[in-house]
């Protein structure tokens, strides 16, 4: 095996281990980033977006894009449709990753995975947030109760049917308590919207 083949082999091993490879990862191996471009030309790697490469036709982990976003933007919080996916409360698989950031923060730009930015302020930034392991990465995500309430709060963006499905799923699976739902509904100012649906469960 010559030096070029050896360098390709090292990059392929890294891609298999990490799913995504970036030019900076090659610096740690003592390789020039141009190796990535050459490997794409040879069909050894696939370019996902600017500075992001993976093995061609790799099997995607179930929540791979969510884990990738968490690695790139550790200050953000996975929310709404993407949080429903993390908690297995929906059959939908959103193309974008829904990410909450502070009101005045600069919106991150990402070609891959595509992002849907939601802005939170005050208590919404800290209340009902938990750390979940997702495909080997610790992800900040709204918890089940908070996610259900957020779906009602942002029902104009995601649809009332999705919010109702999330509420039913979480309740039937005993993943959320009534007092918890009321608390988040009141702090999120959607208690009146949710009242008839919560009362029908009780």
pLDDT in tens, 8-35: 999 999 888 877 788 988 888 889 989 9
Q: How far is CA 46 from CA 17, 147, 165, in A?
A: 15, 34, 37
Give the residue with greater pLDDT, 125 vs 154. 154
Question: Residue 60 and residue 198: Cα distance in Å, rounded?
Answer: 37
- The phi-psi region of residue 19 (left if phi > 0; otherwise alpha if psi is between -120 and 50; otherwise beta) is left
* Cα–Cα distance list, 102 to 58, 107, 126, 184 (Å): 34, 9, 10, 18
Comparing 22-26, 89-93, 146-150, the range with the smallest average pLDDT is 89-93
pTM, 2 dp: 0.71
What is the predicted pLDDT for the residue at 116? 92
What gap in Å lies between CA 73 and CA 54, rounded to an integer? 19
Q: Where are the domains of the chain?
A: 3-54, 64-201
Residue 123's pLDDT is 87
Give the strand pairing for 115-120 and 97-102. Answer: parallel
């Amino acid at each position: 095996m010559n030096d070029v083949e050896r360098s390709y082999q090292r990059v392929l091993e890294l891609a298999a281990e990490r799913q995504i490879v970036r030019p900076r990862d090659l610096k740690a191996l003592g390789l020039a980033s141009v190796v990535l471009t050459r490997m794409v030309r040879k069909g050894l790697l696939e370019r996902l977006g600017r500075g992001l490469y993976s093995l061609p036709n790799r099997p995607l982990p179930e929540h791979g894009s969510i884990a990738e976003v968490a690695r790139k933007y550790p200050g953000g919080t996975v929310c709404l449709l993407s949080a429903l996916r993390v908690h297995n409360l929906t059959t939908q698989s959103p193309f974008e990753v829904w990410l909450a950031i502070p009101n005045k923060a600069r919106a991150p730009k990402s070609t891959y995975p595509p992002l849907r930015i939601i802005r939170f302020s005050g208590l919404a930034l800290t209340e009902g947030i938990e750390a979940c392991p997702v495909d080997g990465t610790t992800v900040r995500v709204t918890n089940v109760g908070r996610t259900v309430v957020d779906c009602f709060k942002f029902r104009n963006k995601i649809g009332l049917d999705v919010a109702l499905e999330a509420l039913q799923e979480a309740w039937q699976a005993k993943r959320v308590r009534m007092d918890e739902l009321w608390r988040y509904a009141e702090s999120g100012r959607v208690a009146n919207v949710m009242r008839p649906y919560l009362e029908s469960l009780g």
